Chain A
């Protein structure tokens, strides 16, 4: 059996070459902006605008990574804000989603299918469509230009996917376990707390990570529209303000971008397994 598998996967040399070429082109497309951004961050500002174009930097140095802290003084604050906003969003989403997922996964009640569908329908509408009434809502409750203006709408649009992922996960936990507890007289609340929650921990971890990434990677439109105070800006908006200026210090901004995305890059390598699980869970064969 093993041998057969090995045979079926044996490629001729030109097939291997062709596939590596394909993978190279594919990965180059995916990584090109990062490569370009990194090279720009290494070039001294004066040489950046020299023509003709040179792919590799001459006299490249990491100087921009040190000077940027002065050019973008609020940089540390932006990163803190990004993480703070994403963390609060993730916590709120989990508090709302864990009980709801249990209800969908374990209790039969009329209209549960429709209700789950209704939750998923929220995914259809991007924040952009709802910006006007949200803007007025925020203004009415004095939430404009606060952290809440980014947290409150952020949570709403991450709930549907989180419910979908987590209830799919909980459904896969064998029913015999809670039925045994139920026969012994345990209440639904007890089963949720003592049986399902501990068993669903891996699923909850996946949902927490996916939600955090969603909150971290997609913070733009709400922050752009609802907050104009520098001290609350998340990283993308903070940098966006700099990119819009007349004289852009490109190499330092690229360096800042890299330092800003480094935590996410480290996360990818550390949590790769969870990410793929979150992205594809319940997707293909459901």
Chain B
């Protein structure tokens, strides 16, 4: 259909409601965040511009630790999501009786209110009564009860595991679709030539699903970096800051201590990182699509 002038006008009329909505609720607040980051806004009535002071204040050793921790936390969580999700996808793709049921059973964490699933994880991590500590004691892996959320090191891993649990269904379903889109003739040709199942997985399935894996891990990277619920519900960033990621840090600065200006500066730093990830994502996708077509 020709792109006539009236058609173009009609297109904009159709787009305006959604555009206006996103502009008001996302873009405008985003600009406001940048603006606020240069002020000392708080619950006080007066607000002054203070230049780069908020940024100067947050770039101390502690913030560097938080950035480092956030990257480690995100890296571990995304890697585990991808490994478990891709493994799960391959298992759910196997021609075994019951696989339709297994696929349905993968979805609850994605579909149930996230917070409620996290409450249940909170109970599992309980040292005295929780399943994990209980089973570990039963099998003699630990001597006494372990309160996973009470120590920095274990709390760090506990929040990661719960975050992985939230992300796995999505990765599994996505990677399952990728595995299923591998042309069957490739497998048949290799099979006729006597290739083993393991060899076919390594030489056909894995290379074919690689682009989907890159796309999924970038999407997962962005959502994991933003992850708030599991950490806030399980530890609120504690004990003594050991699970405080940048998002948690921003939230407690801005809405816990009501230091709006400082919180905004932290939010701006997060946005810069996220933009870098998005750029990386687009470059990866265009590079991959180029490699696929040439």
Contact = CB atoms under 8 A, between A and B. Distances in A.
B284 interface: no
Contacts of B115: 219-220, 236-237, 239-240
B29 A133 contact: yes
A155 to B, nearest CB: 7
Contacts of A107: 1, 3, 7-8, 10-11, 14
Contacts of B50: none
Contacts of B173: 276, 279-280
A51 B145 contact: yes
A36 B96 contact: no
A257 B197 CA distance: 43
Contact of B274 (A19, A124, A160): A124
A126 interface: yes
Interface stretch (B52-60, B69-77, B132-140, B149-157): B132-140
B10 A217 contact: no
A88 interface: no
Contact of B110 (A23, A125, A217): A217
B25 interface: yes
Given A40-B123, A163-B18, A179-B1, A124 B278 contact: yes
Contacts of A20: 96
Interface in B248-271: 250-251, 254-255, 260, 263-264, 267, 270-271
Nearest to B145: A51
A34 B108 contact: yes
B177 interface: yes
Contacts of A123: 222
A169 B201 CA distance: 31
Contact of B124 (A32, A82, A175, A225): A32
Contacts of B17: 95-96, 99-100
Residue of B117, B135, B215 ringed by the most chain A CB atoms within 10 A: B117
Is the contact region of chain A dominated by helix, strand, or loop, or is it mixed?
helix
Interface residues of A, number: 113
Contact of B29 (A134, A240, A284): A134
B84 A29 contact: yes
A280 B96 contact: no
Contacts of B92: 23
A52 B255 contact: no
Contacts of B29: 130, 133-134, 137
Contacts of A95: 17
A124 B26 CA distance: 11
**Which of A95, A178, A283 has the most C-beta atoms of chain B within 10 angstroms of its own C-beta?**
A283
A243 B110 CA distance: 22
Given A48-B129, A217-B114, A19 B91 contact: yes
Given A82-B113, A132-B254, A49 B129 contact: yes
A26 B251 CA distance: 33
A163 B181 CA distance: 24
A119 B95 CA distance: 39
B151 to A, nearest CB: 19
Contacts of A285: 181
Contacts of A9: 95
Nearest to A48: B129
Interface residues of B, number: 103
A133 B169 CA distance: 33
Nearest to A54: B134
A46 to B, nearest CB: 12
Contacts of A261: 108, 112-113, 116
Interface string A189-226: 10010000000000000000000010011111100110
Given A132-B260, A155-B25, A32 B104 contact: no
A125 B10 contact: no
B124 A36 contact: yes
Contacts of A27: 102, 105-106
A96 B25 contact: no
Interface in B158-215: 165, 168-170, 173-174, 176-178, 181, 184, 187-188, 191, 197, 212, 215
A113 B114 CA distance: 33
B49 interface: no
Contacts of A268: 104, 107-108, 111
B96 A49 contact: no
A97 B18 CA distance: 7
A-B CB proximity, top 7 nearest:
A53-B134, A236-B115, A126-B226, A33-B120, A133-B29, A133-B32, A99-B14
Interface of A: 4-5, 8-9, 11, 15-16, 19-20, 22-23, 26-27, 29-37, 40, 48-49, 51-55, 82, 95-97, 99-100, 102-104, 106-110, 112, 115, 119, 121-126, 128-137, 152-153, 155-157, 159-160, 163, 175, 178-179, 182, 188-189, 192, 213, 216-221, 224-225, 234-237, 239-240, 243, 250, 253-254, 257, 260-261, 264-265, 267-269, 272, 275-276, 279-280, 283-285
13 contacts: A9-B95, A23-B92, A26-B84, A27-B106, A53-B131, A82-B113, A107-B3, A109-B11, A136-B32, A137-B29, A157-B26, A257-B119, A276-B103
